[in-house]
């Protein structure tokens, strides 16, 4: 696989009226060859019926455009780790069963999933309940892999350490249906030396979980220093990780077959989020040439 062919994409939008074909069109406009989207707003669980998503047309456009490894992100409002509200847990399990069905209908490859937060009950209780929830959600015949995301450790988030993700996976019955999504910003904010020793981070991941479980990489710079536990993404090169580090990670030989997804902020005057940066950032990664003035130009256009 050449540098121009490595799997790189961005988080795009799937919404009416274009739905799935519109998401593919947006990804192609960035010269991406993979993509990620939510099946609805990440802050809620309202979703369109599968038959309104225009799936056959979207799949045709993916094939025509040379896109693969569709990633569907689960909404981050779902919290399987909350042992204090049993009714919420039952709802979350049912919603995730339906989300898996939607992802399979879309022919998705993987589903990044924020494991949850223990809301004061302690990580051990949350880890057990997250695993219990996954054991109710996962089925032998599903195709999409639920990829537990590495978290920054904000508040009572579970998943800030590889050991916590490993503990969840150890308790899951259908281990072939679960994996991990690495987020570069989250791992740095959690305390891992992503900037200074990414090879060491990969080795630790392999020792604790196993590289075979790595399914998706969220490629984001961080506004905060290592260990800040803040979870604030910023554009490539504008944060504490820097473009050179993220470019090396994007082209790391151990991650060749892993889709890399940009979730960096939109840019615009007064943070108006008028312009997606993804076409610019993908071009930087494909060419290895960091041109920060190109982002400045987008700001000025806003």
Enumerate the known binding-site residues for Zn(2+): 73, 114, 149, 183, 186, 218, 231, 233, 263
Q: What are phi and psi of 275, to 5 degrees?
A: -130, 130
| CA gap 7, 86 in Å, rounded | 40
> Interhelix angle for 198-208 vs 162-171, to 10°?
30
CB < 8 Å & 24+ apart, contacts of 50-56: 50/101, 50/102, 50/105, 52/16, 52/19, 53/14, 53/19, 53/20, 53/102, 53/105, 53/106, 54/18, 54/19, 54/20, 54/21, 55/20, 55/105, 55/106, 55/107
Closest by Cα among 107, 9, 5 to 53: 107
Closest by Cα among 224, 246, 233, 225 to 290: 246
> Interhelix angle for 86-105 vs 123-137, to 10°?
40
Q: Give the CA distances from residue 243 to residues 25, 34, 53, 172, 202, in Å, rounded to whole numbers and listed in that order.
A: 27, 20, 36, 37, 19
Q: Which residues are annotated as a binding site?
A: 73, 114, 149, 183, 186, 218, 231, 233, 263
């Amino acid at each position: 696989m050449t540098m121009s062919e490595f799997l790189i994409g961005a988080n795009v939008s799937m919404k009416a009226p274009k739905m799935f074909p519109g998401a593919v069109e947006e990804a192609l406009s960035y010269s991406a060859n993979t993509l990620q989207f939510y099946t609805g707003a990440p802050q809620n669980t309202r979703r369109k019926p599968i038959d309104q998503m225009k799936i056959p047309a979207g799949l045709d456009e993916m094939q025509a455009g040379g896109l693969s490894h569709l990633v569907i992100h689960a909404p981050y409002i779902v919290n399987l780790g909350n042992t204090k509200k049993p009714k919420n847990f039952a709802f979350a399990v049912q919603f995730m069963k339906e989300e898996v069905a939607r992802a399979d209908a879309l022919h998705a490859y993987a589903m990044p999933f924020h494991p949850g937060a223990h809301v004061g009950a302690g990580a051990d209780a949350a880890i057990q309940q997250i695993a219990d929830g996954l054991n109710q959600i996962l089925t032998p015949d599903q195709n999409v892999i639920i990829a537990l995301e590495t978290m920054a450790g904000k508040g009572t988030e579970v998943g800030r350490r590889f050991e916590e993700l490993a503990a969840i996976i150890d308790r899951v019955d259908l281990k072939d249906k679960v994996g991990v999504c690495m987020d570069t910003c989250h791992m740095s904010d959690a305390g891992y030396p992503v900037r200074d020793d990414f090879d060491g981070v990969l080795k630790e991941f392999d020792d604790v979980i196993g590289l075979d479980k790595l399914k998706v990489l969220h490629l984001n710079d961080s506004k905060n220093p290592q260990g800040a536990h803040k979870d604030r993404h910023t554009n490539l090169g504008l944060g504490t990780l820097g473009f050179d580090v993220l470019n090396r990670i994007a082209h790391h030989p151990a991650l060749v077959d892993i889709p890399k997804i940009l979730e960096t902020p939109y840019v615009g005057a007064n943070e108006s989020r008028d312009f997606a940066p993804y076409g610019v950032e993908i071009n930087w990664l494909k060419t290895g040439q960091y041109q920060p003035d190109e982002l400045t130009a987008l700001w000025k256009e806003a």
